[in-house]
Amino acid sequence: MLFFCPSCGNILIIEEDTNCHRFTCNTCPYISKIRRKISTKTFPRLKEVDHVLGGKAAWENVDSTDAECPTCGHKRAYFMQIQTRSADEPMTTFYKCCNHECNHTWRD
C-alpha cells in the first residue's frame, strides 16, 4: 500500500522516530505520525503445474518395444523420444510398462 503526500503528491517514506514511526515527505516538510498498524497480505495463486511428458494423452498413440520393466519385470513397454537437451545431444527415450496394473515409467 502506497501513501502520497497531501501537500506535494510525492510518495511518503516511513521513518523511525524516538517513540513511534512516521510518514515523511522527501521534498516538503510534511510529517505524519503513524497511529495504527496498517498491513495487508496477498498471496499469489500458484499456477497449476503441467505434466512434463504431456500427461495421459501423450501415451495414447505410441509404439511398443522389447524392454524390461524394472518394477514388475514385464518384457514389453511403450516408448517415446523427446529432445530434452540441446540439439547436439541425443534424444531421451521414455518408457511406460505395457502391464496395465504396473504402468511404471522410466527413461533411458
Non-local CB neighbours of 17 within 8 Å, separated by 6+ positions? 33
Q: Is 98 annotated as a binding residue?
A: no
Residue 8 counted as an annotated binding residue: yes
> Are 82 and 91 contacting, i.e. CB atoms less than 8 angstroms apart?
yes
20 carries a ligand binding annotation: no
Nearest-angstrom CA–CA distance, 15 and 97? 64
102 annotated among ligand-binding-site residues: yes
Buried b (16+ CB within 10 A) or exposed e, 51-90: eeeeeeeebeeeeeeebebeeeebeebbbbeeeeeeeeee
**Residue stretches of the annotated binding site:** 5, 8, 25, 28, 69, 72, 97, 102
**Residue stretches of the annotated binding site for Zn(2+):** 5, 8, 25, 28, 69, 72, 97, 102
